[in-house]
Structure 1
Amino acid sequence: MTHNNHSENLSMMDTVTTKYGKTTFVTVSKSLAIILLVIFFICLIVTGLLTYSFTSTCGSKNDTDVNSEVIISQEKSEPLKCNENLITTTTTTTSTTPKIPRKFLNENLNIRLPEHIKPHSYQINLIPFIQEGNFTFHGEETILINVSKNSNHITLHSDSLLIDSVNVMNINNESVSVKDVRMDTKRQFLIIDLDGFLQANKQYYVYIQFKGVLNNMLEGFYRSSYVENNITRWLAATQFQATDARKAFPCFDEPAFKAKFQINIARMKNMTAISNMPRIDTTDDVKHLPDYVWDHFQESLPMSTYLVAFVVSDFQNISRGIFSVWARPSALSQAKFAVEIGPMILKYYEKFFGIDYPLPKIDMVAIPDFSEGAMENWGLITYREAVLLYEKGISSTASKQRIAHVVAHELAHQWFGNLVTPTWWEDLWLNEGFATYVEFLGSYSVNPKWKDLDLFLVSELHESLILDALKSSHPISVKVNNPDEINDIFDRISYSKGASIIRMMKGFLGDEVFHLALQKYLKNRMYKNAEQDDLWQTLTEESLEIKALPNNVSVKEIMDTWTLQTGYPVVTANKQQNGDLIINQQRYLLDRNNAVTTDQCLWWVPITIMDSMGTVSETWLKKEKEILVEQAISPEIPWYLINVQQNGYYRVNYDEQNWKSLINQLQGNGHRLIQSTNRAQMIDDAMNLAFAGYLSYDIALNVTLYLTNEREYVPWKAAITNLQFLHKMFIRSGYFDKFKIYLISILRDFYIELTFKESSNEDPTRVLNRMEIIDYACKLGLKDCVLQAVQQFQNWRNSANPDKENLINPDLRQTVYCTAISDGGQEEWEFAWNRYLNTNVATDKEILLTSLACSKDIWILSRFLERSLTENSGIRKHDIARVFASVSENPVGHDLAYRFMKINWDRIREYLGPSSMFMSSLVRSSTDKFNTEEEVNDFKSFFERKKEQFGVAVRTAQQSLEQAEANTKWMKEYFNTVKNWLENVRIIS
């Protein structure tokens, strides 16, 4: 992109308070001034005494005056004791908080808006100038507000906008005098002070003129570009979640302040504008801009500001029914798959939710520069190109499946999030957890052969269990105050853990209760806001009719233990000689030194038990430490499993005898008597229990011995994920060869069976297996794998037109590219780099970009990192995190990526923006392999020095440190144990 000459953030406002409007000057005599000064100091002393008296003796009082609103959040403490993390069980959200002692006044401001003024509707006119040298926009808006309490000020949000003028009128268009307009930049408040009072139960119009910059930070109203026929073409798009609508227009930018929006966009005649609602008409009355026209859009249904969207571009579209997919012209043919599956998923959801999609259209747009994967704006869903566009013969099966999932996720939001919206961001998980879970149902409805319901385990459940094992994790429902804290919880806990506990809840309530209650909840709250307690109440009411829960127990009582506490339990079962089972729970932590504090951590745990005969029974561990299940298992039964199909969000440990019996059962073809989901569970649980010292590594590693006979994808994915941790721990040691020999021995037969060549109409999960097994075989240096990959890459290099002639299997391209670049030198790298620059397919770009990090040449990797931070290098800003993660994954590049991040810290923050969510990804990936005290101490020192600059990445840094400390401890306590096992294991021929 090209920088313009204007400031990107309109930083002409000072850092605290800037005033706009009239200023009146008064002159007084010297003697009068002295008298007034004395009176002032007397009043100041009296006020101080009165304040001390009131704060010492009076209880808390709510006050909606914005000038007195302050909040002090509890200091973030390490979540060791669950009672420190268990939030009050009655969830309420208000805009004001109790007053606090004076010493805290400057520490944490209350960023919540007063509730006595709410928007009813907006009319917004915007003129974006999408041309080099003038990436700005001009805007004006009229907000119709409802006033419920007499007030002499109006407070709303504004950020990075220059306010030109403000007028306030009553419903009869009579002016209300504006005394002052000022910015509280810390809270991003635009405060309009009035000479008189707005009257309660009346409506008023607020008219604001403003200007802004189409920034290049991928937030708010921003600019993007692409090159076609050697010409750079510009567009403007929006990304408002969570708190960036205020960067595009002044607004009441909280999810509870729903309103109707009527959008009008001025655009150049050769471009197109789209918004949430259909266009009504187009007019030519753009003053002084003869090349522009106004597009007027239908007024929306009530919605939150973060869901407002508009895109101005020269894109084209293909349509089917109410669906249109927009893309740059040369990529439009890649939109066919999305426009095919979109209507199918929408139809499934309409039946699933029991509510017709309420808007007249859905636009889905592939944006060249986009910070997130996708954004669910109501009626105008925006996507990164790689998760919407699919090119047959170039894009992989995994890409096709990912596109189906992302489309399904965003369409699920049209109900869960858009139709019914969380009152505040602490219940973000209601949005993202439900959309993440339901996306698997939506994708499955399109193609059941993908086995999405099984894939959920390795895609979501296992991933969230890893993060949630840290002390520095957080509850699903977590108090958040400032924008950094809000952005901080867009993580695996809100998404994957949220989805996992919903899946668990569906399991113990039953499909019918869950489904009917979900429909009832949405119908009762449509176009409104909700908190998690609203959902719990509806689910409880529905469950009472068929007695799905224990007597006198509500869904809230059960689910509060999962949403308001950090972490999850490890459930341990011990079988007695008479067949009784003793089952207990304790919080699973990577650092078991803190296990003594976990006695207070108790959950309502749904227990399902399956014995070797296939008999399934159910019981509850009712927020108690231990239970005895009498005659749960017949004494002669050789083995049993707990957590059938891993529906529950917990790990399972057994007595040693049951582990050995399970391991014996897995040998030969015996594993087929256990469902593939539970085989994946056993591998994941055993390896993670061993990591934290709950189980011996001899048992955990013995579980993996059967893999020579495993052919299902889900167990193999679980195994590879866990074995890759050992890979990271051994790769920098002198014993990696022993690890490599064992891994090759268990996957060689499957590798030979799969081959590099796909058969026609193969099962999709077999294709995924081929991708995983062959990729890992090449990474381990299996000679046949490396030779085949290098040969295929060289054949591609030698083709007459490599940009159009590529015979490499799309599903194996990343493996082939990475292996050949790793085995080669600069020539191979430059060839792949040129293909990256020239390809028109975003999914291919992603694969090439990732593979470029596989070089073993330090200088090439250094240059690669440097290019990721260089404008116009060819690497888009949203791909910086991918570059860092890929270089970090390379054993040669891990230390390099970390050093580069440290040295270029200020430059990275400036390039990405200090509050960019990409910072979290960079921190996590750059510290991923740390396992020595020197590395931990170095990062800890860096973090302490720069802590104030970490912003949204603070929690990520804390989690990275905790993981690195756990890795270091593991090296001291378990490395030799695993090494000895590898030396003595019987290698399978």
Structure 2
Amino acid sequence: MGKGFYISRSAGRVAFLLGAVAVLTIIALSIVYSQEKSKNAAANGGEGADVTSPPPTSTPTLMPSNDPWDQYRLPDTLRPEYYNVTLWPRLSMDQNGMFIFTGSSSVVFTCVKETDLILIHSNKLNLTTFDRHMARLTAVGPAAVPTVETTWLQTETQYLVVQLSGMLTVGQAYQLDTEFQGELADDLGGFYRSEYVEDGVEKVVATTQMQATDARKAFPCFDEPAMKAVFNITLIHEPGTVALSNSMDAETVNTTIEGTKVTVTTFEPTKRMSTYVLAFIVCDFAHVTAPEDSGNVLIRIWARRKAIEQGQGDYALEVTGRILKFYESYFNISYPLSKSDQIALPDFNAGAMENWGLVTYRETALLYDREISSNGNKERVLTVISHELAHMWFGNLVTLRWWNDLWLNEGFASYVEYLGANHAEPTWNIKDTIVLNDVHRVFSVDALASSHPLSSREDEINMPKDITQLFDTISYSKGASVLRMLAEFLSEPVFIKGLSTYLNQFAYSNTVYTDLWDHLQQAVDSTPSLSLPHRVNDIMNRWILQMGFPVVTIDTRTGELSQKHFLLDPDSVVEKPSEFNYEWYVPITWKKAGVEQDPFWLLQKTDTHSPLTATGNEWVLANVNMTGYYRVNYDSDNWEHLLNQLNSDHQSIPVINRAQIVDDAFNLARAKIINITLALRTTVYLSQEREFMPWESAIDNLNYFFLMFDRSEVYGPMQTYFKKLVIPLLSYFQKMTLNWTKVPSNHNDQYNQINAIWLACKTGVESCQALTKGWFKQWMQDPANNPIHPNLRTTVYCSAIAAGGAEEWEFGWEMFKNASIASEADKLRYALACTKQPWLLNRYLDYTLDPTKIRKQDATSTIVYIARNVVGQTLAWNFLRERWEYIFTQFSTGSFGFANLISGVTRRFSSKFELQQLQQFMKDNEKVGFGSGGLALEQAIASTTVNLKWLAEYKEPVLDWFISQTK
């Protein structure tokens, strides 16, 4: 699944560049289990069924028991072989004011161990009865069939329980039939509806989001990733609509059912696959198709008809073929399917979902308009497609056995998405930005005592809420970071070799993460030139089975090298034990005075004889290009040498390491390892810096200062200092663009131009503020002709709305409502949160709970945007507390989105009073719950504690330093 972004990184890219939002909707990448709007009416029975009322469901289990139906994991007694599923979604309301779907399902399974019990997942479905039971059992072949004794729904564990009168025979196949009705709700999970307006006509899409445990909301199924099967899907739909599923349509017939004219589309059998990557869609969409000579795979991009007519699917079509061919070469395995459909949905909670052969996306993650969309929008489309297509092999062809290894699935896709994107757009230098988007991003979470290891024990992850909490920054970004480190110290050819044999051996089946380590070790063993200090398994277990990462401290005067678990709050208590004692096997790469040296390993807590020594004015730089997942600290002399080098000739230090020096220094200072003024001194050279990555790293860290000080007396001198830093950068881009009339040709220069304008306007550079207000005023006078370049719109809109009043806000709101392109609507939705008028922000908060104004998928991120505004911080926090029960009911089952709501709204918290409020909030809502936001709330409390201590210690010296720099 894409981050949400990964927020995510990919999602909300422009907002990330502006430093205005720390949480990416990504994001990447998230999944939903939100409660349905209303209960389904009792099923009236299907054709040929007994028309009786369904038996009452059981009371949710409150206490654990040994009964199989009270366990959240399926027993290992049955193995599904194939399903025949027919679904008929109604795209119009019924007489009860509901959208419903009806369906039937037959699953053929083999008995693996003798049992008289069938447990199959079913959630929020009204099941039709056959002879008083909610399922019918028959044999496939000559075996005798025990009769169904009783059936019931176990709602807590989401099972249809079928108790038999006798035992099933091991090795025999049986068929279980069900018929059912469900609500086609707007909850963004399972089989749900998405609504939009086109040419004044309201239209409905029936679509799916199954990951992780919502296939059971569409039809009864064995809904675990290891329960792979073949699916035969048939969709009944309105004539004129399109039906899509994972495989190609085999037959389409127009007929009449129950007096209604319908179209019946039958699809070819799927490959053997997991339920969570199943998809089926009924819509009135159009598509564009790749030319026939583009390969053996049919590539289609689907979206609203207007979007396709306007060419918004063309870029996705262009890069999909390139990326698929790259992965075929990279994995040394042909794309496993005959077609690759990708579809943009108006309502979709995750960034994207890797359904095999039918990938679903938010519109902003798939559609690109060459006139309206920005450089950041284009990169988001590229990276999210690259992420999802990587899953076609890693995740879909070969699937992890259980969700405790989710990190490997999502971390791998989050790493190789950069490789696929780099192949598709080689001039963008996109591979390097993993340092900003993933490594630096996840460091801030993994440095908390409330972090968690990448891999959990299988028995620790059982309930759906346990699973959803795993879809976090650790799984995506830390997973990507440690896999990148692994690929670097193995070398790319060895990494690819092991990966290919792994995928080939386990195609269409399931694995655990150690299976990959075994294949990588085989590749190492067959490469005589490669020498590792330990086996791959032993090295990597230290990175995935314990949380956190080390800070490596280097004394260049003596060569002494040491490692220590890095914690932002050095006083925090790490309660999670580690069998490795929070020590890692650390690959050390380094340079001396600009010359790369031989790499080596730090294998214990301290090494007193490392080669990392320097004399005179020589400087040592460790973790070259930041390929290792660790921070670096130096002795005071070496820090001074590095600072002198930055100020005299910064280009002799690699650009990634210039970003690293800034990020390491600020975070080491937050952890009280180095002096805060040393960290601030790493920014002095920025007046000479023109590259995007160091500036982005600096802005990301300086944003922390804005959050901590924008309510205090430090803000004035701090703003003056940053203003002095950014003016040369602003002038540089003004000249490069011929007074803002041209677009920089370099991909990253386009991003840094945004940084220059954002920081200049934020720090009060009058020429910048006049520029943005002038552009926006010009647009208000002629709404049909927007003079603002798409790259600059987010920052210009925000700056102008912040400087204006109700008139500017109302204009922005009208443009948002009328925006026909999702990426443009997102820019305006973000900018509307920038107003300084409290009454407008309060009204905007109310809008987030009205899906006719703010789509449900965008509600939580909009609240976070408002909280990022210093004026909106308290308003958003009060709103969250007052409406928590309703917000939890509506949005709690998302992963990234909901967890980021809590962390985003509380990011500025830094006082004792705010800490107490957070703790009280946790107490007050124990009964309501926090769902997938539970861990985020713990981390918010930890972060607030860190901020509180940091402010108490550093406020005065930071104020003094800024004053000294601005005299």
Q: Same fold (TM over 0.5)?
A: yes
Aligned ranges 1:418-567 → 2 under 5 Å: 418-478=396-456, 479-547=460-528, 550=531, 553-567=534-548
- Compare 112-121 and 283-292 and name the one that shifted more: 283-292
Q: Does 1:585 find its partner at 2:563?
A: yes
Kindly provide the amino acid, as one letter, of the partner of residue 300 in structure 2: S
Equivalences for 1:697-736 in 2 at 5 Å? 697-736=676-715
Cα 1:877–1:692 shift into 2, 3 Å: same
> How many Å separate the matches in 2 of 1:778 and 1:969?
31
The 2-side partners of 1:21 and 1:560 are apart by 56
TM-score (normalised: structure 1): 0.88
Q: Alignment partner of 1:520: what SS?
A: helix
Report the counterpart of residue 921 of structure 1 in structure 2.
Answer: 900
The Cα of 1:344 is off from its aligned counterpart by: 0.8
Task: Report deviation, 1:231.
Answer: 1.5
Give the residue type in structure 2 aligned to 1:330. K
Preserved CA contact (<8 Å) 2:351 2:361: yes
1:634, distance to aligned residue in structure 2 (A): 4.8
Is 1:159 aligned to 2:123, yes or no? yes
- Displacement of 1:781 in angstroms is 2.1
Q: Which has the higher contact order (CA 8 A, sep 6+)?
A: 2
Task: Choose which of 234, 238, 245 in structure 2 pairs with 1:275.
Answer: 245
Q: Name the SS for the 2:415 alignment partner.
A: helix
How much has 1:148 moved relative to structure 2?
A: 1.2
Equivalent in the alignment of 1:116: 77
Moved more, 588-597 or 443-452: 588-597
Per-residue deviation at 1:546? 2.3
1:762 partner letter:
S
- 1:498, 1:923 → 2: CA distance? 23
1:9 Cα deviation after fit: 4.2
- 1:644 is aligned with what amino acid? V
What SS class does the counterpart of residue 546 from structure 2 fall into? coil
Partner deviation per Cα, 1:891-912 (whole Å, 9 max, x = no partner): 1001110000001112212333
Q: Which amino acid aligns with 1:202?
A: Q
- Is 1:324 the counterpart of 2:264 in the alignment? no
| Counterparts of 1:187 and 1:461, CA distance in 2 | 37
Contact 1:266 1:286 (8 Å CA) reproduced = no
Identity of aligned residues (%): 37
Counterpart CA distance in 2 for 1:834 and 1:529 is 50
Match of 1:795 in 2: 778
- Return the alpha-carbon distance in structure 2 between the equivalents of residues 22 and 816 of structure 1: 60
Structure 1 unmatched runs, 5+: 1-5, 14-19, 25-66, 72-101
**Partner letter of residue 759 of structure 2?**
Y
- Residue 958 of structure 1 pairs with residue 938 of structure 2: yes
C-alpha separation in 1, matches of 2:594 and 2:790: 43
- Secondary structure in 2 matching 1:281: strand
Mapped partners of 2:37, 2:378: distance in 1: 40
Q: Does the CA contact (< 8 Å) of 2:449 and 2:573 recur in 1?
A: no
Q: Which residue of 2 aligns with 1:266?
A: 236
The one-letter code sitting in structure 2 at the alignment partner of 1:858 is P
1:945 aligns with 2:909: no
Q: Secondary structure at the match of 2:845?
A: helix
What is the match of residue 897 of structure 1? 876
8 Å contact 1:919–1:953 — kept in the other structure? yes
Q: CA offset at residue 828 of structure 1?
A: 0.7
SS of alignment partner, residue 359 of structure 2: strand
**Aligned pair partner of 1:311 in 281, 290, 310:** 281
Partner of 1:600: 581
CA gap 1:285/1:200 in 2 versus in 1, 3 angstroms:
farther
Question: Are 2:947 and 1:967 equivalent residues in the alignment?
Answer: yes
Name the residue aligned to 1:882.
861
Paired amino acid for 1:430: L
Letter in 2 for 1:539: L
Residue 257 of structure 1: which of 224, 227, 233 is its match? 227
- Is the 8 Å Cα contact of residues 125 and 140 (structure 1) preserved in structure 2? yes
Report the equivalent of 2:257.
287
Aligned to 1:82: none
**In the alignment, does 2:270 pair up with 1:300?**
yes
* Matched AA of 1:169: T
Could you say which residue in structure 1 is the equivalent of 2:91? 130
Query: Which residue is equivalent to 2:141?
Result: 172
Q: Distance in 2 between matches of 1:273 and 1:829?
A: 41
CA distance in structure 1 between the aligned counterparts of 2:524 and 2:862, rounded to whole angstroms: 49
Distance 1:737 1:986 in 2: 10
Aligned to 2:313: 335
Aligned partners of 1:541 and 1:772: how far apart in 2?
Answer: 46
1:188 lines up with 2:218 in the alignment:
no
| Count of aligned residue pairs for this structure pair | 894
Quote the Cα distance in structure 2 between the aligned partners of 1:124 and 1:317. 26
Report SS of the residue matched to 1:118. strand
**How far apart are the structure 2 equivalents of 1:405 and 1:7?**
34
Evaluate the alpha carbon distance shift between residue 411 and residue 658 of structure 1 in structure 2; reply closer, same or farther with a 3 A threshold: same
Equivalent positions of 1:44-59 (< 5 A) are none
Q: Matches of 1:880 and 1:305 in 2, distance apart? A: 28
Q: Give the counterpart of 1:784 among 736, 753, 767.
A: 767
SS in 1 for 2:166: strand
Amino acid in structure 2 at the alignment position of 1:541: Q
How far 1:773 moved relative to its partner?
1.7
CA offset digits 1:376-404 (Å, max 9, x no partner): 00000000001111111211001101110
Does the aligned pair in 2 maintain the 1:245–1:251 contact within 8 Å? yes
CA deviation vs aligned residue, 1:346-386 (integer Å, no higher than 9, x gap): 11111111001010001110000001000000000000001
Tell me the SS of whatever aligns to 1:204.
Answer: strand
Pair 547,738 (structure 1): closer, same or farther in 2 beyond 3 Å: farther
Aligned match of 1:213: 183
In the alignment, the residues of structure 1 paired with residue 373 and residue 960 of structure 2 have an alpha-carbon distance, to the nearest angstrom, of 43
CA–CA separation in structure 2 for the residues paired with 1:23 and 1:261? 27
Write the letter of the residue equivalent to 2:275: T
1:774 aligns with 2:757: yes
How far apart, CA to CA, are the structure 2 residues paired with 1:632 and 1:965? 36
Residue 151 of structure 1 and its aligned partner are, at CA, apart by 1.0
Select 2:822's aligned residue among 842, 846, 858. Answer: 842
**Equivalent-residue separation in structure 1 for 2:893 and 2:520 (angstroms):** 42
Q: Secondary structure in 1 aligned to 2:761?
A: helix
User: How far apart in 2 are the matches of 1:687 and 1:487?
Assistant: 32
Whole-angstrom CA distance in 2 between matches of 1:113 and 1:933: 46
Matching residue of 1:366: 344
The 1-side partners of 2:91 and 2:911 are apart by 50
Q: For residue 390 of structure 2, what is the amino acid of its counterpart?
A: A
Q: 1:492 to 1:155 in 2, by over 3 A?
A: same
Contact 2:116 2:168 in 1 (8 A): yes
Q: Deviations over 1:895-944 (max 9, x none)?
A: 11000000111221233356676332221111110000001101111112
Q: Which amino acid aligns with 2:338?
A: P
Structure 1's 596 and 807: CA in aligned 2 closer, same or farther, altered over 3 A? closer
Asked if structure 2 preserves the Cα contact closer than 8 Å seen for 1:690 and 1:697, the reply is yes
Distance across 1 between alignment mates of 2:896 and 2:447:
22
Give the partner amino acid of 1:930: F
Q: Render the CA deviation track for 1:922-967: whole Å, top value 9, x for unaligned.
A: 2111111000000110111111221341111100000011101111
Q: Give the TM-score, by structure 2 length.
A: 0.90
972 and 351 in structure 1: CA distance in 2 versus 1, 3 angstrom threshold: same
Q: Which residue of 233, 240, 246 maps to 2:210?
A: 240
Q: Which amino acid aligns with 1:160?
A: K
Q: Which residue of 2 aligns with 1:822?
A: 802
1:384-436 CA distances to partner (integer Å, 9 max, x unpaired)?
00111111121100110111000100001101100111100011011100100
Compute the RMSD of aligned alpha carbons.
2.3
CA distance in 2, matches of 1:746, 1:501: 34
* Gap change, CA 1:145 and 1:846, over 3 Å in 2: same
Deviations 1:295-318 (A, max 9, x none): 000000010000000110000111
The aligned counterpart of 1:855 is 835
SS in 2 for 1:592: coil
Is the partner of 2:438 in helix, strand or coil? helix
Q: How big is each residue's C-alpha offset from its partner over 1:233-283, in whole Å with a ceiling of 9 and x where there is no partner? A: 111100010111111011111100110001000000021100000000012
Conserved in 1, the CA contact under 8 Å of 2:287 and 2:301?
yes
